[in-house]
């Protein structure tokens, strides 16, 4: 989720606080305090824009909102999911497939690997470990678990191992998010 309406100046909450997306809470707190000092309306002269509103106040409010979202683990997790989803909407994909369209291979260590052939001859792939990190639970035979009250559709962009083509892996059916 981007927080500004202008395409050329869209900033994430991480960018507003000048921290990396994998920053710990302490790093976010430091970024928040620095951003507060740089945007607090009492510390800066008023600079109204063409519409008459105060830019400093708008920036200060964005800093406050960024801290509110990123300092709470639940809201940050939700924000991160929305951020990933918004980025995936901009990827150009060659095809959309479902998990059931992929070939299943099982490694010696018990990890399932789902593969889909690319036009170039290589494969798109995703493992059961990666799927579990996204909240997709698999049965022992590699099938997706049945629908639960915590149902949530999954969509992820996969890139071919050899070329630049990408596909969107959809799983609208029956996933269990934990």
CA dihedral 61, 62, 63, 69 (to 10 degrees): 110
Q: pLDDT at position 107, please?
A: 83
CA neighbours closer than 13 Å in the CB half-sphere of residue 71: 13
Among the candidates 46, 71, 88, a domain finishes at: 88
In a domain, 1, yes or no: no
* pTM exceeds 0.75 for this model: no
Tens place of pLDDT per residue across the chain (178 aa): 444 433 334 688 998 999 998 899 999 999 999 999 888 877 766 655 544 445 677 888 999 999 999 999 999 999 988 888 777 666 677 888 888 888 989 888 888 889 999 999 999 999 888 877 777 777 666 565 544 444 455 578 888 888 888 888 876 544 333 2
Largest CA distance in the chain: 66
Same domain, 11 and 81: yes
Residue 13's CATH number = 1.10.287.110
Q: Count of domains in the chain?
A: 2
Instruction: Please state whether beta strands 166-171 and 95-98 pair in parallel, antiparallel, or not at all (unpaired).
Output: parallel
Does 81 share its domain with 112?
no
* pLDDT computed for residue 45 by the predictor: 64
Q: Which domain holds residue 132?
A: 95-171
pLDDT reported for residue 5: 35
- Are 71 and 114 found together in one domain? no
First CA to last CA across the chain, in angstroms? 22
Judge whether 158 lies within some domain: yes
CA distance 101 to 169: 9
Same domain flag for 148 and 108: yes
List phi, psi (to 5°) of 16.
-60, -40
Task: Supply the pLDDT for residue 9.
Answer: 43
Within a domain: 177: no
């Amino acid at each position: 989720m981007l927080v500004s309406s202008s395409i050329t100046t869209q900033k994430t909450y991480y960018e507003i606080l000048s921290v990396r997306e994998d920053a710990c809470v302490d790093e976010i707190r430091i970024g928040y305090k620095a951003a507060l000092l740089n945007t607090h309306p009492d510390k800066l002269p008023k600079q109204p824009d063409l519409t008459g509103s105060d830019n400093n106040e708008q920036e200060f409010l964005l800093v406050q909102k960024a801290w509110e979202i990123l300092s709470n683990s639940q809201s940050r997790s939700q924000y991160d999911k929305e951020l990933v989803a918004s980025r995936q909407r901009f990827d150009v994909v060659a095809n959309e497939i479902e998990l059931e369209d992929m070939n299943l291979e099982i490694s010696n260590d018990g990890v399932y690997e789902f593969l889909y052939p690319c036009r170039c001859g290589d494969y798109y792939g995703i493992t059961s470990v990666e799927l579990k990190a996204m909240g997709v639970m698999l049965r022992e035979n590699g099938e997706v678990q049945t629908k639960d009250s915590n149902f949530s559709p999954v969509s992820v962009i996969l890139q071919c191992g050899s070329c630049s083509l990408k596909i969107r892996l959809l799983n609208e059916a029956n996933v269990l998010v934990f």
